[in-house]
Amino acid sequence: MYLVCGEALFDIFATPAGSRRNRLNLEAVAGGSPFNVAVGLARLGTPCALFAGISNDHLGQQLRQVLDDEGVDGRYLVTFDAPTTLAMVALGAGGVPIYSFRGEDCADRLPCIEHLAPLGEEVRGIHVGSYSLVTTPIADTLLALVCRESIHRLIFLDPNIRLNVEPDVLRWRKRVEAFAEHAHLIKVSDEDLALLYPDEAPESIAQRWLKEGRELVLLTRGGAGAHLFSRRHGELYAAARAVTVCDTVGAGDTFQAALLSYLHENGIDCPSSLAKMELGQLETLLGFAVQAAAITCSRRGPELPYRYEID
């Protein structure tokens, strides 16, 4: 089982309501990067749980129901008498989402370390990422968790930078590096690295993380495909799959869920087994993640694929 940690919210998509400019049609879709990763894992048949703050308002109850329906273990969810975060989503060029968050003092930012129950032996890996890396108190909670558990369990990191939540790039950089120090696998987009390190090539950042002890770094480039950097086997590349793009909402989360699912299916459940992966396994891992992400890009919003759709 994997424990996915971070935010759970609703993405709000706004579209014009006909010719009347004073009206919009709104569509609310359950989301948040960690929430999507958990749902993606469940749809791929991988046991997982979500550690997140969930509001007791109507939207929070709906988020719980979605998780239950999808088969995500809810034992680590923490209920708060605080609102559910809302993310307003507009689509830019190429279907790339542009977010605006309403989340100050909302439930998903509130978990503290005392809210996290002891982890059982069945938890073999922990995923962290997105704005939960920088919004306190959950940011401090998650950093304490990965510091404590990185010796015994796999740690996965996806920075997923959101400057409209926390505009201070230096804070993001400091927090990402703190989490990266304890991660075994980092997945990051070229857009995120351009924000964090505008004067450095993405490949140089990946190589630095490898030298500092990370086993795998995966760099996604949207339509330009994805690179995998391995301490043992060097650099691999996979081209993006040809697909008619509806939007790219949830594509990175799908990529991450596919990575973790492949590791689970192949019994790669500790730091030492990750380090021993063969070249052929890494090639299959990368191709599987690219294929899964392409399916999500062909659909509206974070509609992550089921395993049978990839096979």
Q: Where are the domains of the chain?
A: 2-7+32-84+103-310
**Beta-strand pair 97-102/185-189:** unpaired
Report pLDDT for 93. 67
At 95 the pLDDT is 65
- pLDDT value at residue 287: 97
Q: Burial, 203: exposed, middle or buried (Cβ in 10 Å; 0-12, 13-18, 19+)?
A: middle
Residues 193, 277, 142, 208: what is their CA dihedral angle, to the nearest 10 degrees?
-40
Tell me how far the alpha carbon of residue 258 is from its chain's centroid: 11
Q: Supply the CATH classification number for the domain 2-7+32-84+103-310.
A: 3.40.1190.20
Q: Which residues of the chain have pLDDT under 70?
A: 93-95
User: CA 279, CA 198: separation in Å to the nearest integer?
Assistant: 31
Tell me the C-alpha distance between 181 and 212, whole Å. 8
What pLDDT score does 165 carry?
A: 93
